[in-house]
Structure 1
Amino acid sequence: MPVLPSWLTEPLREQFAALLPMRPEFHPGHPLGCHRRRIGDRVVFDKLLQLLRFGCSYEAIADATCSATTLRNRHDEWIRLDVFAQFKRIALESYDRIVGLVLDRIAVDGCITKAPGGGEVAGRSPVDRGKQGLKRSGMTDGYGIPLGRVLAGANRHDSPPLAATLDLLDDLRPLPDDITVHLDAGYDSDKTRALLAERGLDGRIAHKGEKAPVQASDRWHVERTHAWQNAFQRLARCHEHHATVINAFFDLADTVITVRSLIHRTWTTHRWDNRPNRHP
C-alpha cells in the first residue's frame, strides 16, 4: 500500500522537484569522471515521505536504492537551501489563491508529543511521567490549515510561546483588519489579553473553571489539525535532535495537509488532469 495516494504524491513530487537546483549525475570534480551516481531526488523524497508517515529509523527505511547516510545528507542539504519552507509557502499561497485562507479567525493551541531521544527543544513531559517530550504551539486559520508552529520543551506552559507564534502572521501579510484569536483556558490571563491588544487582535479565550465543549468556539479547528499532524508518526514520536530537522518534517507534513485539503475542497468546483475519480 502506498504511503499516500498517487493523486496527492504526484503534485507534491513535481512541485518539490521544481524547487531543487540542477545537479549532475556524476560529481564534476572526480578526475576520472567515474564517481558513483547521485541518488535521484525523487527516490530520496519518497523515502522522506515514508519516514514522515511511518516514523521508523533511517536505517529501517534504507535499502539498495538509498542509504541512511544519503537520506540524512540530502535532507540537510535541502534544509540549508530552505526548500522545505519554500515548499510549504507555495502550498499556502496556492490554497489562498484558489480557496482562500480564513485569516479573520485563527486558533492557537499547544500539543505535547513524545521525544524519546531528547534534543534541542525537548523537555520533561508533565503528562508522561517526566519522560522527554516536545511541545508545539500551533496556529491554524479558521478552517484548520496549518500556518506555522513554535517548538518548545514539553515542560513549557502554553502561554509563553504565544507571542512567537503570533509573530508568524507577519509572513502572511496582507492581513484582515479584524482578526479574532481563539484560545483555550490555558491562555486565560491578563498577560495574554495585553499581548493580543498590543498586536491589535481580538481574543476569544475560554475561562478557567468553566466547562465548555471545544465546539463552543472555532478552537476545535486547531485540535483537528493537531490530530492530522499526529497521524504522521515522525511528528507524534520525534527522534530528531535538531530543531531545524524537526521543523523541516513539520513543513513537509503541513504541505501534505494543505494540498490534501485543497484537492478535497476543490474537487467539486474545479477540473484538472489527474483529478481523483472519487471525492478524496
Structure 2
Amino acid sequence: MGASRGRSADGLWERIEPLLPVTERRFRYPGRRRLDDRQVLCGILFVLYTGIPWRCLPQELGFGSGMTCWRRLREWNEAGVWQCLHEMLLAELRAAGISDPSRASVDSSHLRAMKGGAATGPSPVDRGKTGSKHHVIVEAHAIPPAATLTGGNRNDVTQLIPLIRAVPPIRGKRGQPLRRPKHLYADRGYDHESYRNQVRRFEITPHIARRGTEHGSGLGVHRWGVEGAIALLHWFRRLRIRWEIRDDIHQAFITLGCAVICRRRLRTPL
C-alpha cells in the first residue's frame, strides 16, 4: 500500500516541489527538524486514497504523524499549492491535445458529513441527516477543471454560476487562455429560465433538459463525463464521506483529487 502511494507521489512531486512555500529554519532554538515535504505528500495521498483517520496514519511507512500531514495540507492549501498544481496539469492536458474545454457538463453528488461543520446541511436524500454536496464541472473528456463544496440542502441550480466562475484560465496553447466553455450541458435539476439567461451572459450556450420531458433527450451523450468524474472523485475514500469539520480542508482534498485525475489522464489519454 505504501509503495503504491509513493509511486503516485512520484508523478506529482516534480510539479509540486517548485510550488511549495520556502520555510526557513530558525537559527536560534531551531527545534525538531522539519519532516521532508515529499514524505509528507505521500502521507497526505495515503489519507486521500484510503480514507484512514489522521491519528491512524502508520508512521512506520515514513509519513510522519497524522497531525504533521494535516498541518502541511492546511499550510499548502493556504499557499494555493493545490490550486496551482491543478491549473498546471490542466494546461499540460490542453497542450497535449487531450482536453476539450469548449464543451462542459455540470452535476452534483451528496455525501454524509459525519462531524458537521461549515458547508453542511440537512440532506434531502438521506432522511435529513447532516451532509454536503460536491458540485463538479467537467470538460468534454471528463476532466474536471473545478469542483466546489456546499451544504447538502443547497439546490444544484444555485451553484451553476459559481461553478462557471470557479473554472480557472486554462493555458497550454498560444494566445489567450480559455476561461469559459462554449456549450454547457446539465440535467433537469438546472431547468430554470433565469439561470439559462445568466449562463448566456457568459457567452455560453446552455443545453439543459426540460422538466416533464421524457428521458432520452440525447444530452446523455455529452453528460456522461460529469457522472464519470464524480465516480472518479469518490474512488478516493476520503471523498466518499466527509470527516473534516473545516470545509477548507475538505476542499483541499477535492482539489488534490481533481489534480490526481488530471495526472492520470496525462498518462492514459482516451
TM over 0.5: yes
Q: 1:203 to 1:217 in 2, by over 3 A?
A: farther
Matched, 1:167 2:159: no
Q: Matched residues in 1 for 2:266 and 2:42: separation?
A: 21
What residue number does 1:180 align with? Answer: 183
Contact 2:167 2:180 in 1 (8 A): no
Cα drift, residue 165 of structure 1: 0.7
Cα drift, residue 120 of structure 1: 0.7
Residue in structure 1 matching 2:147, options 143, 146, 149: 149
Cα drift, residue 39 of structure 1: 1.0
What residue number does 1:9 align with? Answer: 9
Q: 1:175 to 1:197 in 2, by over 3 A?
A: same
Cα drift, residue 177 of structure 1: 8.7
Residue in structure 1 matching 2:44, options 41, 48, 51: 48
Cα drift, residue 100 of structure 1: 4.1
SS in 2 for 1:151: strand
Cα drift, residue 69 of structure 1: 2.0
Contact 1:139 1:165 in 2 (8 A): yes
Q: 1:22 to 1:152 in 2, by over 3 A?
A: closer
Moved more, 178-187 or 162-171: 162-171
Q: Matched residues in 1 for 2:56 and 2:134: separation?
A: 27
Unaligned runs of 5+ in 2: 171-175
Q: Matched residues in 2 for 1:28 and 1:176: separation?
A: 45
Q: Matched residues in 2 for 1:39 and 1:124: separation?
A: 40
One-letter amino acid of the structure 1 residue matched with residue 28 of structure 2: G
Cα drift, residue 178 of structure 1: 7.0
Question: How far does the alpha carbon of each residue in 1:123-174 deviate from its partner, in whole angstroms, 9 at most, with x for none?
Answer: 1111111111111221000001011022111111110011111112353363
Q: Matched residues in 2 for 1:72 and 1:169: separation?
A: 26
Matched, 1:192 2:198: no
Moved more, 247-256 or 65-74: 65-74
Q: How does 1:254-265 map to 2 (within 5 A)?
A: 254-265=258-269
SS in 1 for 2:228: helix
Matched, 1:36 2:35: no
Cα drift, residue 10 of structure 1: 1.2
TM-score (normalised: structure 1): 0.86
One-letter amino acid of the structure 1 residue matched with residue 206 of structure 2: G
Count of residue pairs brought into register by the alignment: 262
Matched, 1:243 2:239: no
Percent of pairs with identical residues: 28
SS in 2 for 1:171: coil
Question: How far does the alpha carbon of each residue in 1:227-267 deviate from its partner, in whole angstroms, 9 at most, with x for none?
Answer: 0000011111111122221121111111110010111018x
Unaligned runs of 5+ in 1: 267-280
TM-score (normalised: structure 2): 0.89
Contact 1:214 1:220 in 2 (8 A): no
